[in-house]
Amino acid sequence: MHINVTADDIYQDIKKKILNFELVPGQVLSENAISRQYQVSRTLVREALGRLKSDTLIEVYPSKGTYITLLNFKEIKDIIYVRTAVEQKVYSDAMRLNASSLLEEMELNLARQKAILSEEPSICIFRELDTEFHKLVYSAVNRIYVWNRINDMLYHYRRFCMMDLSMNRPYSTLYEEHRKIYQAFKTRDIELLNVTLYEHLNNNIQRFEKDNNDHFYVFFEDINETTN
């Protein structure tokens, strides 16, 4: 039994499931089903859904129902464009520092990534290590505010990344890309770093465009079999 469940508990749990692609774009959400699942009143459910709507994670249609927001492919590419430019600048700033502690943290993160490659990694665990790897450099140059604001933009990009992980399982590829970023940063080769970072942040788009993933078109509002 769920005791003392709050609207925030419901909001956080559903949000996590949406971002982790456990609840997929276009999926219907039922107030009654959520109320029964968490054993709470529909008032608390509506409060939680209101916050998810503000996050643009759900769409509410009075005559049709509540749905997980579809992905927008062009918007995702634009977000990657912004993130790539920002992250290249952040790494450039980090190269001006004594980066020994940052390098140690990156090495530790890479070691943890490599360790889980010997088994079938959990998508969520690998995604957490991926996110941590990128966050390290923002922290090193005191740009956590920038990281947080970027992540406010990344809800739909994160869902796309989780779809890529579930669809392609590119764990070894991502690990190698992270290792190349680390190597370029360690040798202070800014040109190589910019190229490597660009490829890393854009490869999931390229994988999706290259592969014939007809059954994933339903998750997007702006692409289908005829437009892809």
Does the structure show a pLDDT above 50 at 41? yes
**Which residues are CB-neighbours of 92 under 8 A, at least 6 positions away?**
190
Q: What does residue 100 show for φ and ψ, rounded to 5 degrees?
A: -60, -45
User: How far apart are alpha carbons 117 and 119 in whole angstroms?
Assistant: 5
pLDDT tens profile 166-220: 888 889 999 999 999 999 999 999 999 999 999 999 998 888 887 756 678 889 9
Q: What is the chain's length?
A: 228
Please give the pLDDT value at position 212: 57
- Domains belonging to the chain, first-starting first, are 7-68 (1.10.10.10), 73-219 (1.20.120.530)
Q: Which of 132, 219, 111 is nearest to 175 (CA)?
A: 111
What's the average model confidence in pLDDT over 54-76? 93
| pTM (predicted TM-score) | 0.87
Exposure string for 190-212, b = 16+ CB within 10 A, e = fewer: eeebbebbeebbebbeeebeeee
Tokens read off for 197: 């970072």
Please give the pLDDT value at position 215: 72
Please give the pLDDT value at position 175: 96
Percentage with pLDDT > 90 across the chain: 75
Residue predicted with more confidence, 154 or 199 = 199
What's the average model confidence in pLDDT over 73-101? 94
